[in-house]
Amino acid sequence: MLGGASTERLPLAEERRASLGIPFLVISHSSTPGNASADAMCHDEAAKPRWLICLDLETKDTRGEARAIGRLVNAQGWTDITVVTSRYHVARAGTLIRQCTHAQVDTVGSTPDFNPKQWLDRFVIESGGLLDVILRPECVGEANADRQ
C-alpha cells in the first residue's frame, strides 16, 4: 500500500490481502498526517504482525516508494505484487513501480470521497506527474536495465 490517504487505502489493502491470500502486507511508513493509520501499525515493533512489512523511504514520494518496492521485490524474489493506492494515482504509480521491478504489477485503486473540483485538481496533478514519469523514468540502469 502506497503512503498517504491511509484511511481510504488501508482497508482496501487489508481486504485484498485477505481475499487473495497474499502472505504479506507492505505499507509505506511516511510519518505524514495522511498516513497516520498505516504508520501506527509500524510504530510498535512488538505488536507488529509477522505478515506486515513497513517500508522506510529515502524520499517520501512515489518515486521513493517505487525504488523501495523494487529493492524489496528483488530481495524477496517475488514475481508478482498488488499495489493499492487511490484511484486517481493508479496510472502514475503503476508506471513508476513497473520501471523499478520485473515483477508483474497489478494496481488497485481505492475511491476517495472527492467533490468535482478535487477530482479536477487530481486529474491535472496526476496528468502532469504521468508525463514526468514517462519523460524521466525511475530506476533506469537498475532493475529495468535489460528492458532498455
Q: Is residue 62 part of a domain?
A: yes
15 in any annotated domain: yes
What is the domain extent for residue 78?
6-147
Query: Residue 142 — pLDDT band, cuts 50, 70, 90?
Result: low
pTM here? 0.89
User: What does R_g of the chain's alpha carbons equal in angstroms?
Assistant: 15
Domain annotation covers residue 25: yes
In a domain, 1, yes or no: no
Q: Indicate whether 77 belongs to any domain.
A: yes
Would you tell me the crossing angle of helices 116-135 and 90-99 to the nearest 10 degrees?
Answer: 20
**Mean pLDDT over the full length of the chain:** 92
Instruction: Give percent of the chain with pLDDT exceeding 70.
Output: 95
Is residue 124 included in any domain, yes or no?
yes
CA distances from 42 to 30, 49, 67 (A): 10, 9, 20
Position 23 scores a pLDDT of 95
Kind plus residue range of the DSSP H or E element containing 108: strand 104-110
What DSSP element (H or E) covers 82?
Answer: strand 80-86
DSSP state of 57: P
CA 144, distance to chain mean position in Å, is 18
For residue 46, name the pLDDT band (cuts at 50, 70, 90): confident
23: in domain: yes
Q: What is the DSSP-derived secondary structure letter of residue 141? A: T
For residue range 104-123, list pLDDT tens digits in order. Answer: 999 999 999 999 999 999 99
Total number of domains constituting the chain: 1
Write the pLDDT tens digit of every residue in 20-45: 999 999 999 988 899 999 999 998 88
